Amino acid sequence: MESVDVRVLRSARDWHADGQRVMLVTVVKTWGSSPRPVGSMMALREDGRCIGSVSGGCIEDDLVQRYTQAYGGEGIPRSTPSLVRYGVTADEAHQFGLPCGGTLELLLEFQPDVEALDALVQQLESGHLVQRSVNCATGAVTLTPTTAPEALHFDGAMLSSTLGPQYRMLLIGAGVMAEYLATMALFNDFAVTVCDPRVEHTGSWSVLGVALVSDMPDDAVLAMKPDSRTCVVALSHDPKLDDLALLEALHSPAFYVGAIGSRRNTNERKKRFIEYFDETPESLQRLHAPIGIYIGSKTPAEIAVSIMAQVLAIKNGVALPDTLSVESAKTRQETSAS
């Protein structure tokens, strides 16, 4: 599976190159509740075919009816970009399926430059991070290589957004829980790699779309070269494997490093890292363990849900309260029971 952005932009490029009129739509502002975040994109072809999403479906339908010939419309114009806003009134919000108080503004790029699209797609397919800037008055596009993702910026005259490779997840251990977590990560548009040198575990792996490697875990982390869009999750329950990966990942730019294990095992691991591997309490603050948020989970599937929720919260910059940590919740339960 690959990034939704890449699929949208590649489709826009290919349709344009085939002689189709194309419109590229980007969410540039939201107010209140909105079904899709800023930066979400869709590509619309003149015959009504589209890919990507800017809402729950109703706004896409309206764009199809307005700008394509699928319902007798005039088709996609050859024009400079324009802005359109949905959800200004309560009636309009209801009509387009927006949450109460939700409003979003879209930038419509009619017939975006195919050469710029092709250059952007090639850079994204090569794993590069690119800032795409659009002059809203002329439609001119500038592509600038960058090393760090930045928040979308839109001031009414210029749109700047960072596009890049998918978020990545490296799982250590190919057990049942890894299968559940990998499945959820794929649905959330992560590129997933599973590392397990134990052939008896990888031989029964059943989740499609996942890269399987048999390297030692520390080598797998080094080979992946974790960046700010990478998370590393140790699930093997074997300290010889999990520890190797964690020791490398903790000193990488990975946005999330987590490990399965009880509170006792976690404390033992931290002591081991401090005593034998020169880690410090400060360096171990990056380690999410016991992993996940507390939802009273017992089964592998439920634990995977709690892990995915924590990963997504950290990815989205949400500061989770301490009350949601597994350690705090279980300590409170023991205190109240005594």
pLDDT tens-digit series, residues 79-114? 999 999 987 555 665 565 555 557 889 999 999 999
Asked whether residue 192 falls in the same domain as residue 249, the answer is: yes
Q: Domain count for the chain, please give it.
A: 2
Asked whether residue 73 falls in the same domain as residue 191, the answer is: no
Q: What is the DSSP letter of 166?
A: P
pTM of the model: 0.77
Asked whether residue 200 falls in the same domain as residue 320, the answer is: yes
pLDDT at residue 99 in the model: 56
Asked whether residue 143 falls in the same domain as residue 200, the answer is: no
Domain boundary among 163, 189, 208: 163
Q: Which long-range contacts (CB under 8 A, 24 or more apart) does 33-38 make?
A: 33/98, 33/99, 33/100, 33/101, 33/102, 34/87, 34/98, 34/99, 34/102, 34/103, 34/104, 35/97, 35/98, 35/99, 35/102, 36/104, 38/152, 38/154
Domain boundary among 163, 197, 232: 163
Asked whether residue 182 falls in the same domain as residue 269, the answer is: yes
pLDDT at residue 29 in the model: 92
Asked whether residue 173 falls in the same domain as residue 270, the answer is: yes
pLDDT at residue 101 in the model: 56
pLDDT at residue 95 in the model: 62
CATH at residue 206:
3.40.50.720
- Helix axes of 239-249 and 217-224: crossing angle, nearest 10 degrees: 30
- Helix-, strand-, coil-residue percentages of the chain, each rounded to 5: 40, 25, 40
Structure tokens at 152: 């979308």
Asked whether residue 176 falls in the same domain as residue 122, the answer is: no
Asked whether residue 86 falls in the same domain as residue 196, the answer is: no
Asked whether residue 150 falls in the same domain as residue 194, the answer is: no
Residue 219 one-letter amino acid: D
Asked whether residue 112 falls in the same domain as residue 48, the answer is: yes
Domain boundary among 110, 132, 163: 163
**Residue 156, by phi and psi: left (phi above 0), alpha (psi -120 to 50) or beta?**
left
Asked whether residue 95 falls in the same domain as residue 215, the answer is: no
Asked whether residue 126 falls in the same domain as residue 223, the answer is: no
Residues of the chain with pLDDT under 70: 1-2, 33-34, 56, 72-73, 88-101, 338
pLDDT at residue 273 in the model: 97
Q: State the residue range of the domain holding 98.
A: 4-163
